Amino acid sequence: VVNIREKLYMIDCGEGAQLQLRRSRLRFTRLNHIFISHLHGDHCFGLPGLVSTFGMLGRTATLHVYAPHGAEAVFRPLLDFFCARLPYEVVFHEFDTQEASVIYSDRSLTVETIPLRHRIPCSGFLFAEKSGQRHINRGMTDFYRIPISEYNRLKNGADYTTPDGDVIANARLTTPPTPVRHYAYCSDTAYNEAMIPQLAGVDLLFHEATFAEADLPRAGETFHSTARQAAQIALSAKAKRLVIGHFSARYEDESILLNEAAEVFPAVCLAKENLRVSL
Amino acid sequence: VVNIREKLYMIDCGEGAQLQLRRSRLRFTRLNHIFISHLHGDHCFGLPGLVSTFGMLGRTATLHVYAPHGAEAVFRPLLDFFCARLPYEVVFHEFDTQEASVIYSDRSLTVETIPLRHRIPCSGFLFAEKSGQRHINRGMTDFYRIPISEYNRLKNGADYTTPDGDVIANARLTTPPTPVRHYAYCSDTAYNEAMIPQLAGVDLLFHEATFAEADLPRAGETFHSTARQAAQIALSAKAKRLVIGHFSARYEDESILLNEAAEVFPAVCLAKENLRVSL
């Protein structure tokens, strides 16, 4: 779940997602958008249960589900059967996984697909905050006795002209906008350098790391990545931090994955249930 | 899960069933039969994930799913889509929920449906061990020098005639078979006296108890039972023990349900995650 000022965006919805969401104490009512990377069960089998539970909780707001082409054909009959008298609407927004495109946009955020290389059509997601307004420096605006009615213009970068005709530069009256943050989610995917330009400079990259280096051939066959490959992508993209996850159950001790990644990209940690990362 | 000499029978398969099964450390390979009471999501949304995971674990044995009419039409398209190259077969056995019928039988066990009263077609399940053979009393058979070749006849209740023509009564040579055990699962259902004869004398009854007595009207509207009603069924059926479960989330402290049931039927306990009851 991506939490941007208490608006929640869920990425993938595996079996048990509603239980994890409940345990996380995030508010269900703040979640209006779900992004599904691909139609493998471990990424979407939690959807019917989540939709159903939202209905029982009396949800009325539309729930938007963004997913690769074909998702609605699979899930709509299930929802029709099990959630027949839902008090809210579920709207599917299907997308093409072959090319990057903006699939969601609001006042402060865009979500763009990232084409991934997997056994079936699969997309990652880039969450990019839009640049906000400059912040008023109250000390300075008070000093120049600037009326509040001017603030909006100042926030948008305008200079101020006093009644005497003096021009006060905007930079003296405001401070820069809060820096925008970028988060990219890439799972499931084989090692794919094509996505590096899109990931350039992200504050946080989640990249799958299903296998350790010893299982590199298996990673290739199944269109997954090794921990080292995930780290290589983070390094090449100059990401600030990396979280690796989606580990094969074969590794009892996942520290081998952490160590292999950290050799290439030190600012890495292992995903685990209910991990919370603040940007 | 009902475990009869390490053969496992799953009853209902809600979201997350595969995770709970893994945590229970029961062996997946011993599970060949799943019984679905009714087609509400909280009783069957775990099925696709379970089927899918069994496939990834390389299962080859057929998995039999017993469910009310309509189940295959709902789940087959999903399995076809998500579990396309499954290395084993999933066979649906659909049944009519209106009348009691034996839907499973093997050498040592029968499973019979129990018609329940719910908002949609719904069945409980009665697990009944078949009576086994009598046990040889080795002290006595040695005393009479009875050849081992006669043991099978003795186990089936036959008397023994000595070479001298004396008849030794079977009761002197054998002890009674191990008593058979009966387990009944009744969820979801409104209070329904019609099922009492079928439950007569069961060793263990699981009965839903969604509501406390204060919410009796709500129980009636939603075709669920109160804890006291569950206890009344157990009492009338002369069940030996009762487990109540399927509690509404509205009760933070479920001891109110336990207490209301215990006033009517003291041999009661609350179901909880991973509860294990031995018979």
pLDDT band at B132 (very low <50, low <70, confident <90, very high): confident
What is the reported pLDDT for B150?
A: 95
CB contact under 8 A, B46 and A15: yes
For B84, residues 6+ apart whose C-beta sits below 8 A from its C-beta are: none
What is the reported pLDDT for A187?
A: 96
For B138, residues 6+ apart whose C-beta sits below 8 A from its C-beta are: none
What is the average per-residue pLDDT within A58-85? 96
**Are A16 and B15 within 8 A, CB to CB?**
yes
Buried b (16+ CB within 10 A) or exposed e, B112-150: bbbbbebeebbbbbbbbbeeeebebeeebbeeeebeeeb
Alpha carbon distance A204, A3 (integer Å):
13
With CA atoms as reference, report the closest residue to B274 among B31, B19, B15.
B19
CB contact under 8 A, A41 and B19: no
**In A57-104, which residue ranges form alpha helices assigned H by DSSP?**
71-82
What is the reported pLDDT for B269?
A: 98
Give the pTM. Answer: 0.88
pLDDT band at B74 (very low <50, low <70, confident <90, very high): very high
Q: Are strands B7-11 and B31-35 parallel, antiparallel or unpaired?
A: parallel
B215 in active site: no
Q: Does B188 sit behind a cis peptide bond, omega within 30 degrees of 0 on the bond before it?
A: yes
What is the reported pLDDT for A132?
A: 86
Torsion of CA B36, B37, B40, B41, to 10 degrees: -40
Phi, psi of B39, deg, nearest 5: -95, 55
What is the average per-residue pLDDT within A82-97? 96
What is the average per-residue pLDDT within B223-252? 97
Alpha carbon distance B210, B212 (integer Å):
7
Phi, psi of B135, deg, nearest 5: -100, 135
What is the average per-residue pLDDT within B172-181? 94
A52: alpha, beta or left, given left = phi > 0 and alpha = psi -120 to 50? alpha
**Are B22 and B29 within 8 A, CB to CB?**
no
Q: Does residue A95 register a pLDDT over 90?
A: yes
**SS3 per residue for chain B:** CEEECCEEEEECCCCCHHHHHHHHCCCHHHEEEEECCCCCHHHHCCHHHHHHHHHHCCCCCCEEEEEECCHHHHHHHHHHHHCCCCCCCEEEEEECCCCCCEEEECCCEEEEEEECCCCCCCEEEEEEECCCCCEECHHHHHHCCCCHHHHHHHHCCCCEECCCCCEECHHHHEECCCCCCEEEEECCCCCCHHHHHHHCCCCEEEEECCECHHHHHHHHHHCCCEHHHHHHHHHHCCCCEEEEECCCCCCCCCHHHHHHHHHHCCCEEECCCCCCCCC
Alpha carbon distance A69, A97 (integer Å):
8
Torsion of CA B32, B37, B39, B45, to 10 degrees: -50
What is the reported pLDDT for B104?
A: 98
Alpha carbon distance B27, B29 (integer Å):
5
With CA atoms as reference, report the closest residue to B231 among B255, B208, B198.
B208
Alpha carbon distance A36, B233 (integer Å):
46
Which residue of chain B comes nearest to A47, CA vs CA?
B45
Instruction: Write out pLDDT tens, residues A155-175.
Output: 999 999 999 999 999 999 999
Alpha carbon distance B84, A44 (integer Å):
16
Buried b (16+ CB within 10 A) or exposed e, B22-46: eeeebeeeebebbbbbbbbbbbbbb
Helix (H, G, I), strand (E, B) or coil at A232: helix
What is the average per-residue pLDDT within A176-192? 96
Instruction: Write out pLDDT tens, residues A216-268.
Output: 999 999 999 999 999 999 999 999 999 999 999 999 999 999 999 999 999 99
With CA atoms as reference, report the closest residue to A202 among A91, A275, A146, A277.
A277
**Are A55 and A88 within 8 A, CB to CB?**
yes
**By a Cβ cutoff of 8 Å, what residues of chain B touch chain A?**
15-16, 18-19, 39-42, 45-46, 48-49, 52, 74, 77-78, 81-83
Running DSSP on this structure, what letter comes out for residue A178? P
Min Cα distance B14 → chain A (Å) is 9
Q: Which residues of A touch B74 (CB under 8 A)?
A: 77-78, 81-82
- Looking up tokens 């056995």 gives B93
Q: Which residues of A touch B83 (CB under 8 A)?
A: 41
Instruction: Write out pLDDT tens, residues A98-150.
Output: 999 999 999 999 999 999 999 999 999 999 999 889 999 999 999 999 999 99
Min Cα distance A1 → chain B (Å) is 19
pLDDT band at B71 (very low <50, low <70, confident <90, very high): very high
Element holding A122 (H helix, E strand): none
pLDDT band at A68 (very low <50, low <70, confident <90, very high): very high
Q: Which token pair is A33?
A: 């958008």
Instruction: Write out pLDDT tens, residues B98-124.
Output: 999 999 999 999 999 999 999 999 999
Alpha carbon distance B162, B142 (integer Å):
13
Write the residue in A15, A41, A77 that is nearest to B15 by C-beta: A15
What is the reported pLDDT for B218?
A: 97
B68, amino acid identity? P
Instruction: Write out pLDDT tens, residues A5-29.
Output: 999 999 999 999 999 999 998 999 9
Q: Which residues of B touch A54 (CB under 8 A)?
A: none
CB contact under 8 A, B49 and A45: yes
What is the reported pLDDT for B48?
A: 97
User: What count of Cα atoms within 13 Å lies in the side-chain half-sphere of residue A224?
Assistant: 19
Alpha carbon distance A146, A131 (integer Å):
25
End-to-end CA distance of chain A: 13
**By a Cβ cutoff of 8 Å, what residues of chain A touch chain B?**
15-16, 18-19, 39-42, 45-46, 48-49, 52, 74, 77-78, 81-83
Question: Residues B245, A16, A208, CA angle at the centre, nearest 5°?
Answer: 160
